[in-house]
Each structure stands twice: as C-alpha cells, then as structure tokens.
Structure 1
Amino acid sequence: MHQSNRYLSLILLAGFACSQPQETTHSVEADSTASKYSHAPLVEHIYTADPSAHVFEGKIFIYPSHDTETEVAEDDMGSHFDMKDYHVFSMERPGGKVTDHGVALKLEDVPWAGRQLWAPDAAEKDGKYYLYFPAKDKQDIFKIGVAVSDQPEGPFKAEPEPIDGTFSMDPTAFQDGDDYYLLWGGIWGGQLQWYEDQKLVEGRNGPTEGLPAPDQKALMPYIAKLGDSMTDLAEKPKEMLILDESGEPIKAGDNARRFFEAAWMHKYNGKYYLSYSTGDTHFIAYAIGESPYGPFTYQGNVLDPVEGWTNHHSIVEFQGKWYLFYHDTQLSGKTPLRNIKMAELTYLPDGKIETVKPMK
C-alpha cells in the first residue's frame, strides 16, 4: 500500500474506533501491574480526568474531562489543560466492564465557548439529563454552561448561552430530595479571585491577583438552587463557608485546608459532606454541615496526594457501598495527561471518612 494511503487508512480506522462504544475491564483493588499504585486506571485508550460519577438507570455513569496532547505551554493558569470534548463512560458494577459511549459534546458545538472544556458534572430530572460544564468564553473568561440529552450518555445539545449568574468553573450538581443545586468555583486558573461580590473586577489577571492575604478568610465555593428547567438558577448564588474547629472561617494562608477547586457534595446519615481539592497541597479535604448551604466544619482528608499536580474527585453510593472516583498520572507520568480511578470508601462510626491512600 502507498505510504500516504496507509496513513489515511489508519486515521480513518482510529476515528471509527473512537466513535464506537468501547469496553475495558478493571479492578477497584490494588493494581497488580504497577506495585506503587493502590488502584488501577478505569480507562486506558484515552486520557481522562476529573471524574464525576452518578447512578442513572441502575448503572454507574462517569462524566470526566478528556485530556489530550497539546502544544500549549504550561502555566499557572492551566492553559495546557486544553480539552476540546467530553466522553461519557458507564459500568454495570464495580470491577466490571467500562463502556466508552463516545463523544457526548464538542467545543465547536457550544456557541458561546472559546476554549478549555474543563471538569463537568451531570444530573437527571424527569427523564432528561443535564451536563454542566465550564468553558472560557470568547473573552477568555470562565462561565458555566449546560447541555441537555434524553439519555445519560448523550449526545448533549448545549444551550446557546452560559447560565446567567455563574462564574469561575468546576460545576457540581447535587440533588437533595426534589431540590437540585449547582456548586462551583476555583482559584488560580479557575479565576474565582478575579471576582468581588460576584462581579468581575476589571484589570485583574494571573493566578494570584485578587487572592486574599494569608490571614484573611479564604475564598469559598458558591452554591445556588437550580430552577425548574435545570438550565437556570432559581436564586442568587451564596458563598459556602468552610470553618475550622473553633468555628472561624478557614484562612487563605491555610493551604492544607482551604478551598482551591473541585467542590463536590454528597449526603450521608442526614449530614451534608462538602469535599474539595486543596490545590497546591494536593489533598481532597472534606467538611460537614447541616444544610447544603453550610456552614461546613473541616474534618480531614478523603484522599491523600496522588501522582501528578492536580487532584479532583467525586463520591457516589452504589448498591449499599460508597465509592471515591479520582485521577492520577499513572499512564503518562504527565500532569496534563491523566487517568481516572475508583476506590471503595469507608465511613467510621463517628461519620468521618477513612482517608484513601492512592499510593502504597
């Protein structure tokens, strides 16, 4: 075969393969192929990160971001995380086959977006599925959008504009009975430090301009109840206060405990658990409150630092057991090229979470 024709055939074959559902198997136990890791990658044929897991239709569905090779230079604003689409994955049971349902949403199909489809999440209401996602708009400012589908795996159709009243990134959808909430926020590349009173301050740029002084209250994530349509907010967003053991807000200089990004909420024994990444100290920390609005009191760490700079997770119950989903860089050894994993989560009698160790 002529070399150019052979190359074209390989490209076409690869494209066909990526468009079809793909299945892999995995274990939630120790990874026997690499002894230093506690858990095996769920997906190996593409790079995935920031896994948001939910139980829909009796299966676990995972909504991660999709890492790809890029020529964009690394910087503290995360420009090298240059994602351009989303894949949705499902599994009928932990340890079983993981199905890649293919591309669920592409950057070019989001009318308002300019670049960087970062960590998404999903929700279901009345048989409709909603994919919440951050992207930078044409002015390079992060907004949160929503796309809708009739099935959990998509494909999803994006609304023409971002959700009014949202800003920053890392949206998380949380259902509490008949109520649905959206949480979001992230500093440095997430641009939360560029806002005051939920309004963008002109002229701020870079990862640290606008951050509070170390002895001041840290920036916190935001929450708002979703409207009946699930595509708008029903109220003005509220700050979610994270407090220390003495009831004081966590300080900006408390890097091992303060909020950085990746807020997630779940409910256990009537309590609301807010978990989040501490960013430059690389923990997944958690705090507990009596209401989805908080305040929340810091308790400790869900997950110790992983291999790679970033840390992002989700927590879900499935058939009476709880699972943590997270990512590391086992497959590539490179921070912008990550792979998702899962581990069983253990609650202690006092309601605290036993810290997961991603490395042996």
Structure 2
Amino acid sequence: MGEVMKKSTSGNPIFSGWYADPEARIFENRYWVYPTYSAPYEEQLFFDAFYSDDLVNWHKVEGILKQSDITWARRAMWAPSPIEYKGKYYYYFAANDIQSNEEYGGIGVAVSDRPEGPFRDALGKPLIDQFHHGAQPIDPHVFIDDDEVAYLYYGGWGHCNVVKLNEDMISLGTFEDGDVYKEVTPQGFVEGPCMIKRNENYYFMWAEGGWGGPDYSVAYAMSSSPIGPFHRVGKILQQNPQVATGAGHHGMIQIPNTDDWYIVYHRRPLSETDANHREVCIDRLFFTEDGRIRPVDITLEGVSARPLREIHGK
C-alpha cells in the first residue's frame, strides 16, 4: 500500500486492463469510472467499475452487471452511463450490437441502490430496441438538466437521437412537439455522445472516425438548449503520435463548486495494433475566456491528486 500512495500523478492509463468507452461520475463523494470491457463482442458479457477518492489511486469492482442478469442480452455489452436520481442509480447500456429492427437488443436500463451495484434489469427488455432516424441503438449517455429533466442521448451509424426520460427513469416521455425520438445529429457524428452544461451553455460532444483506428477522436458543439441545434465547432481530443492513438469516446468530471474539468477517455498504446487493446486515461480539460473548449493535451503523466474529501471539508 505504501508504494501506491507514493504516486504523484495518476499516470495514464489510470488502471490496468483493456477497457473503453468510459463514463465518469461523482457519486457519494467519490470518483467513479464505468467502462466497456474491451474484447471481442462474444466476450463482452459483463461490466466492471472503478472508483477513487483522489483521481490517482483507483480500485476495481468486478461484475457490477453481467449478461446473466439481463435475460435479453447475449453479447456486445457496451458503453454504460449511470446516473443518480432520488436515491437510486440508473445504469443505461447497450447490448447485442443489433444491425436491424429484426434483431433483438438495443439500449437497456438496470437499477441499484448503490453506485457499485449489483445492478438488476429494470425492465426485462430493452428500453430502446429499434432504429429511429437511422441511429443504431448504442452508446447511451444520460444527462439531468438543472430543472431535473433527464435526457438520454444515444446513437451509432452516424446518427444521434435524444429522448426524454420520464420521472421513473425507465420509460420514455415526449417532447413538447409530440416527438419521442428527436434527431440531433451534428456534422461528423459517428457515436459516443456526451453532454455537459456550463454557464448556461450546453456542450454536446461525440466521437468521430473509426473506433478501431488511430484517427478516432472527439469533437463538440455548443447550444443554448439541451436539444440543440448543434453545429460542430471543432475537434478537442485526438491522437498524439508521441503518446497514443485512437483517443475518443469519453466522459467528463467537474470538481464540485469549481470550474475545474477533467476528461476521461480511452486510447490505444503506441505498441498495440489490436483494435480492442484500449486503455482508460484522464487529462485536464480547459475552456477559453469566451467559453470554447481548448484542445486537450493527452499525456502519459495523467493528473495530480484531487481528494474530494478535502474539497467538501470532510
């Protein structure tokens, strides 16, 4: 234990193993990262989670949700996105990599009383199991606005939709115009949506390029509304030939009561050519004075310790 505590920075990757598509949250005064297990589709049958008190030392919780817990899932369990709402933890995920409306699968939702699970299937069936507006039902990302309205963004195959979640968090609502599925696809969108709000601006981010190649990356748009329109501003995360390739599909952490932001993402080490050999990393993310996002410097060092207990005075 003594050696672990001597780390001055997190280092990148922040934990060992092949993982991808990380969602990052703060739950119960602790940092959490929820990734995809990066392996061939037939082996993606479980989700692990990782937690830290300081962003430097990470601990693994194995099997917080498994294929055996989801009657309809059979493979390709991807891209989890949990959120806390009224004391419960709702965990959205994709399974089965469906290629048409004739195949069974899509986006599911599980629920737990704890951020580490165990999670149980909340519906016994997918929440979204069809293609709408051309969007493959994968890569969910849940966002709760200041007014406590919950939105679920998702999509692959170059199309992104947003749906409104009802207060039960396990059924879909309707927008004011009567739509259930609203397409919000920005230019260049491939997959991996992510939403944050800062100073009344909504920052919508997504992954571009092919997930298995070096050019996988992240771009963003800004809007005054959580449903857009979203017009691409530029790229904010990409490979550095001196550090790593394929940097993309991320989550975000804001330190409470500050304007300090971190981006948690996956990338491929320079030594690796296997598409599934992806690692989870963390770096700082900064804004310009006029509210734009500066391109992220991806590093080998990672970030310095940021204990949440000190921030909250505990």
TM-score, normalising length from structure 1?
0.70
CA RMSD of aligned residues (A): 2.4
1:50 is matched with which residue: 11, 21, 31? 21
1:309 and 1:165 map into 2 onto residues whose CA distance is: 29
Instruction: Tell me whether 1:318 sits opposite 2:259 in the alignment.
Output: no
| Equivalent residue letter for 2:202 | Y
Cα distance 1:359–1:59, how it changes in 2: closer, same or farther (>3 A)? closer
Q: CA deviation at 1:112?
A: 1.0
Whether contact under 8 Å (1:112, 1:137) holds in the other structure is no
1:165 shift after superposition: 6.2
**Which of 335, 340, 347 pairs up with 2:287?**
347
Aligned amino acid, residue 184 of structure 2: M
Contact 1:28 1:343 in 2 (8 A): no
Q: Which residue of 1 aligns with 2:37?
A: 66
* Same amino acid, percent of matched pairs: 33
Tell me by how many angstroms 1:141 deviates. 4.8
Q: Distance in 1 between matches of 2:80 and 2:64?
A: 12
1:32-83 CA deviation, whole Å, 9 max, x = no partner?
xxxxxxxx11111x32111100111111111101124x5xxxxxxxx57x41
Aligned residues: 272
- Does 2:170 correspond to 1:231? yes
Deviation at 1:331, TM superposition (A): 8.8
Matched, 1:297 2:261: no
Equivalent position amino acid for 2:118 in 1? P
- Structure 1 or 2, whichever has the larger Rg, is 1
Q: Answer yes or no: is the 8 Å Cα contact 2:142–2:150 preserved in 1.
A: yes
Deviation of the 1:233 alpha carbon: 0.9
Do the aligned partners of residues 356 and 142 (structure 1) sit closer, same or farther apart at CA in structure 2, a change above 3 Å counting?
Answer: farther
Structure 1 residues not aligned, in runs of 5+: 1-22, 32-39, 71-78, 188-218, 243-249, 251-257
Query: For residues 184 and 159 of structure 2, what CA distance do their matches in structure 1 show?
Result: 6
Q: Bigger relative contact order, structure 1 or 2, given CA contacts below 8 A and separation 6+?
A: 2
8 Å contact 1:165–1:233 — kept in the other structure?
no
Provide the secondary structure at the position in 1 that maps to 2:68: helix
1:284 aligns with 2:222: no
| 1:85-127 Cα deviation digits (max 9, x unpaired) | 10111111222x2111221011122111121101111111111
| Structure 2: runs of 5+ lacking an equivalent | 132-136, 175-179, 301-314
Match of 1:312, SS state, is strand
1:185–1:137 Cα change, 3 Å: closer
Match of 1:269 in 2: 199
Note if contact 1:310-1:335 (Cα within 8 Å) is conserved in structure 2.
no
Q: Does the Cα contact within 8 Å between 1:261 and 1:277 map onto a contact in 2?
A: yes
Distance 2:277 2:104 in 1: 23
1:297 Cα offset (Å): 2.1
Change (3 A) 1:277 1:173: same
SS in 2 for 1:52: strand
Distance in 2 (CA, whole Å) between partners of 1:332 and 1:133 is 30
Tell me if the contact between 2:161 and 2:183 (Cα under 8 Å) persists in the aligned partners: yes
> Alignment partner for residue 46 of structure 2, among 68, 72, 85?
85
- Shift of the 302–24 alpha-carbon distance from structure 1 to 2, 3 Å rule, reads farther
Q: TM-score, normalised by structure 2?
A: 0.80
| Conservation of the 8 A alpha-carbon contact between 2:92 and 2:110 | yes
- Distance apart, 1:164 and its partner CA: 4.4
Distance, in Å, in 2 between the alignment partners of 1:47 and 1:304 is 19
Q: CA deviation at 1:332?
A: 6.7
- Kindly provide the CA deviation profile for residues 227-261 of structure 1, in whole angstroms up to 9, marking residues without a partner as x: 1111111120101142xxxxxxx3xxxxxxx1000
Shift of residue 226 of structure 1? Answer: 0.5
Any idea what SS the aligned residue of 1:63 has? Answer: strand
In structure 2, C-alpha distance between the alignment counterparts of 1:57 and 1:332, rounded to whole Å: 37
Q: Which residue of 2 aligns with 1:103?
A: 63
- Alignment partner of 1:336 is 2:279: no
Determine the structure 2 residue equivalent to 1:11. none
